[in-house]
Structure 1
């Protein structure tokens, strides 16, 4: 027999062990509120995402709600209500999922399916998925052709994708079934206004394009008549530069930051954006409208007349001291330009190609050490 003393000893030993090995998952004074929040019965707010690892009881309840034993009607109605709750909270992506699952429930109630499609269209609309929203609106109307919400949503989708004639057709269809409906009437008025504005803008754009096309053709004709050759940027996959562009090739001519580009003036003269390069000082000048009939000396006299540029510290860039050259990049040759020559005469030289729409010239000071060294490294040809 076991004595009372032995029994008390066993009990004490058991209690000591229990004290040492406390229940690991038990609540403590520090975490009891957090743990209680995990129990569905005591939750004050449902979690955004239900993870079975962190909320096993809630996951179990959710599985019961969506249990396969429920009828299609119970599933569809429950999922529709779930989608509506998400929609009210502006959780449109979750609403779309719920409505989609509701449609998959295969409850053959046309009224409920129409509502699910229309509600999903609304959620897609607020997500910015206009094509999907329009598709759902069409599907809802196949079931119930006079469904007002689907008609309105379809018209709104067409407005958002700027398909104004189609929006008008949706509104007209709806107004035949719901004469005088305020929302459809407002949508139709807005769609008609935007349609007329879009047509006006299209006419303006077409007229502008026609005018620009005519100007491009006149420019090409003027260049062809003068024998001016263009060297446009290489096309991808091409080994050779393209010369004497045709038609749209003029669109490849670059513009200055100010928008300068070759143009024909009222007298029919070509005016070019011309670049002057000063390699000794790594500087440049840009003449936005150099008339083809003007001579280089006319511009140089203005640019280097009374006031010389600040980078010319030696004050040697005087008009009478300057030499001009253009470079034949293909032949690696420099041709000297006489300052008294007109721009047109230079552009008509057999080896001059207008590159990227802007003729460029090199300016040096005659007899300067830099000029002598620079020219010694180049092949120089005269006219």
Structure 2
């Protein structure tokens, strides 16, 4: 038993300590102005775990984490702890952290098949909510290999296949799962939805094939009509090295490729007449006109009257583009020859000329004012022929 003097000394020491406590601040106390935030940093009272845990910023948590993942514990114990940690992150919708925790548990390679399967199915769920459908499906597949009767593995696998639009695979997952769990409503609903979407997808494929076939038949019919008229289509990127005795007409589909550029393409009407998209070029003013459907039997003069008969275009400041004053040409680039087109001629007659090649599915013609200074300059040095 302590002597009275020793007891007195102890009491005196406590008195000194209490006196200092009253006058000096406790170094590790919570701050007065933000004690709520500091209080939330205490591991026991934390609402959510921090994004990163290290010994400097969160020493207490680092210590607890070291205890949780103590190397002395069995792989099964470590896996369970990591599973619980992943579940906590999952409930907070922190799916990335959940994946990391579940992955850590899987790496423990515990021999308990139930724990390992749960870790895989839980990670599949976290991947699912992150949008990593392939990774989720891989985890569900791995879980099913370990425990074929695991219900959640079947559900996760089916859900992933639906998202990936693998409807046949979805039905397989559901059917195999329902053989072992015939009363499960989730698998029944997934199967019904997948079957409905599978039939809809197959119907869309049939419609698309029928549409493609119809377009192919129409295109072949169109190309045959063009060939029958001896009209020559020039494929993009290929020079017009056709000779007079070369087989006229082309069955190459890319010779009609004008729709993507102009929004129009040659078509065959119900009466069997071709209608062409035609371009008129006015090099003097760097202008152009586009006719989306020029009937092959129509003449050029009718279109010139429609464009210039009643009013002049705003770029024709000299008011000289009268229909009767205009000259039409097409250019043979290979021979550097201008062929003059009579405005009373039909479009078909011109397109059938042995030196006319339809480029990119759109016939084009140069329009000049007869007798103008620009006309004289433009034709100087060029060979000019009539049709």
Q: TM-score, normalised by structure 1?
A: 0.83
1:221 is paired with a residue whose SS is helix
The answer as to whether partners of 1:280 and 1:364 remain within 8 angstroms in 2 is yes
- Deviation digits for residues 222-280 of structure 1, max 9, x if unmatched? 2222222222222xxxx757986544435x60216673111111121211100111122
The answer as to whether partners of 2:30 and 2:39 remain within 8 angstroms in 1 is no
Q: What is the aligned partner in structure 2 of residue 345 from structure 1?
A: 349
1:28 Cα deviation from its structure 2 partner = 11
Q: How many Å separate the matches in 2 of 1:115 and 1:305?
A: 83
1:43 Cα deviation from its structure 2 partner = 6.2
Is the aligned partner of 1:358 residue 2:329? no
Q: What is the aligned partner in structure 1 of residue 339 from structure 2?
A: 335
* 5+ long unaligned stretches in structure 2: 1-26, 243-248
Q: What is the aligned partner in structure 2 of residue 173 from structure 1?
A: 176
1:284 Cα deviation from its structure 2 partner = 1.3
Given the superposition, is the C-alpha separation of residues 119 and 88 from structure 1 closer, same or farther in structure 2, using an over 3 Å criterion?
Answer: same
Compute the RMSD of aligned alpha carbons.
2.8
1:217 Cα deviation from its structure 2 partner = 1.0
Q: How does 1:118-129 map to 2 (within 5 A)?
A: 118-129=121-132
The answer as to whether partners of 1:260 and 1:288 remain within 8 angstroms in 2 is yes
Q: What is the aligned partner in structure 2 of residue 255 from structure 1?
A: 259
Q: TM-score, normalised by structure 2?
A: 0.83
- Deviation digits for residues 94-144 of structure 1, max 9, x if unmatched? 211211110111111111111111111111111112122112112111222
1:334 is paired with a residue whose SS is strand
Q: How does 1:1-383 map to 2 (within 5 A)?
A: 46-234=49-237, 246-250=251-255, 253-255=257-259, 259-376=263-380, 378-383=382-387
1:52 Cα deviation from its structure 2 partner = 4.2
Q: How many Å separate the matches in 2 of 1:292 and 1:28?
A: 92
* 5+ long unaligned stretches in structure 1: 1-24
Q: How many Å separate the matches in 2 of 1:42 and 1:196?
A: 54
The answer as to whether partners of 1:216 and 1:247 remain within 8 angstroms in 2 is no
Q: How many Å separate the matches in 2 of 1:242 and 1:138?
A: 61
Given the superposition, is the C-alpha separation of residues 30 and 177 from structure 1 closer, same or farther in structure 2, using an over 3 Å criterion?
Answer: closer
The aligned length equals 354
The answer as to whether partners of 1:233 and 1:242 remain within 8 angstroms in 2 is no
The answer as to whether partners of 2:30 and 2:38 remain within 8 angstroms in 1 is no
